[in-house]
């Protein structure tokens, strides 16, 4: 059997001693964790704990003040410009509001990464866009504008664009924000489908307990006062067994809420 290279066996994402700051204000310090390949990994915590800041550092929108972020064993910060461009193709992002261009149709929105990063012809792009819209349940909506869709459909369209380049990792920024429980549950099922059918590693920033307990393999919990990580592991096990009252309080705060959503 041939031996596997370090890149073949490395975690999808590996973060070591990361420090996130804005100017002199430290938001997070000494953050270290790894995300396994094919895992649905949630970053959780209360408002202002640094979830979105961590996401921006991971995807390169805001460079870390210290520490390293590696994708499949390779440091994004240490890569040259050409290699960074290649690495950017390996992950997609579903932003909180979908971040669709309002003046473009869904077909045109999903085609943007293909135009930017591939040499595909217009006909080839159209074929691939149709496939991506089908993967998220939006067949027949390619000529619609974002304003003509519901919030859930806009999230699905944003996911289609995030999947356009067949990324190995997809980041989700509060995917259930602003959605009703039924639509939120449908989006959770879609995330599971993406992972199970495409083998995609999914990193989800969220505080929604229903989603956390429904689809998360593991969670990383951040705390505003601690300016860092206070828990990591399976959410059900943490809710039951964590010795940290902050962790148990967060994960059990909505037991009634979860039960209500489950029967809605």
Query: What are the sequence ranges of the domains in the chain?
Result: 38-60+90-263
Between residues 84 and 230, the one the model is more confident about: 230
Q: Does domain 38-60+90-263 have CATH number 3.40.50.300?
A: yes
- Whether the per-residue pLDDT at 111 is higher than 60: the answer is yes
- Whether the per-residue pLDDT at 183 is higher than 90: the answer is no
Phi-psi region of 72 (alpha: psi -120 to 50; beta: other; left: phi over 0): left
Q: In sequence order, which residues have a C-beta less than 8 Å from that of residue 2 and are 6 or more positions away? A: none
Average pLDDT for residues 174-195, to the nearest whole number?
Answer: 89
Which position has the token pair 């910060």? Answer: 77
For the record, the structure tokens of 123 come out as 């006909």
- Whether the per-residue pLDDT at 63 is higher than 80: the answer is yes
Band (70; pLDDT cuts 50, 70, 90): very high
The reported pLDDT for the residue numbered 75 is 87
| Strands (DSSP E) found in 45-167 | 66-71, 74-75, 91-94
The pTM of the full predicted model, rounded to 2 decimals, is 0.88
Average pLDDT for residues 64-80, to the nearest whole number?
Answer: 89
- Whether the per-residue pLDDT at 9 is higher than 70: the answer is yes
Q: In sequence order, which residues have a C-beta less than 8 Å from that of residue 129 and are 6 or more positions away? A: 107, 110, 111, 114, 142, 160, 164
- Whether the per-residue pLDDT at 12 is higher than 70: the answer is yes
- Whether the per-residue pLDDT at 258 is higher than 70: the answer is no
Average pLDDT for residues 47-59, to the nearest whole number?
Answer: 93
Q: What distance in Å separates the CA atoms of residue 54 and residue 58, rounded to the nearest whole number?
A: 6
Q: In sequence order, which residues have a C-beta less than 8 Å from that of residue 168 and are 6 or more positions away? A: 12, 37, 71, 72, 90, 91, 200, 201
Average pLDDT for residues 145-162, to the nearest whole number?
Answer: 91
CA distances to 139, 171, 190, 202, 222 from 42, in Å: 29, 10, 15, 8, 11
């Amino acid at each position: 059997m041939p031996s596997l290279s370090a890149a073949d066996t490395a975690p999808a994402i590996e973060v070591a001693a990361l420090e996130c700051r804005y100017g002199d204000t430290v938001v997070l310090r000494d953050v270290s964790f790894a995300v396994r390949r094919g895992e649905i990994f949630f970053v959780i915590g209360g408002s202002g704990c640094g979830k979105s800041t961590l996401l921006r550092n991971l995807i390169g929108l805001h460079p870390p003040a210290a520490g390293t972020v590696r994708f499949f064993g390779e440091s994004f910060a240490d890569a040259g410009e050409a290699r960074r461009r290649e690495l950017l193709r390996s992950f997609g992002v579903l932003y909180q509001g979908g971040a669709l261009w309002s003046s473009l149709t869904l077909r045109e929105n999903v085609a943007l990464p293909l135009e930017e990063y591939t040499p595909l012809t217009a006909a080839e792009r159209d074929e691939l866009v149709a496939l991506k819209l089908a993967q998220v349940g939006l067949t027949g909506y390619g000529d619609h504008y974002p304003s003509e869709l519901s919030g859930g459909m806009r999230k699905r369209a944003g996911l289609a664009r995030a999947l356009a380049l067949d990324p190995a990792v997809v980041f989700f920024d509060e995917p259930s924000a602003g959605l009703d429980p039924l639509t939120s549950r449908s989006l959770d099922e879609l995330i599971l489908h993406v992972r199970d059918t495409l083998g995609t590693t999914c990193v989800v920033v969220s505080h929604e307990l229903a989603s956390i307990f429904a689809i998360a393999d593991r969670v990383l919990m951040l705390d505003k006062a601690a300016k860092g990580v206070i828990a990591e592991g399976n959410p059900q096990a943490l809710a039951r067994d964590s010795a940290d009252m902050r962790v148990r309080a967060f994960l059990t705060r909505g037991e009634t809420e979860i039960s209500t959503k489950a029967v809605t």
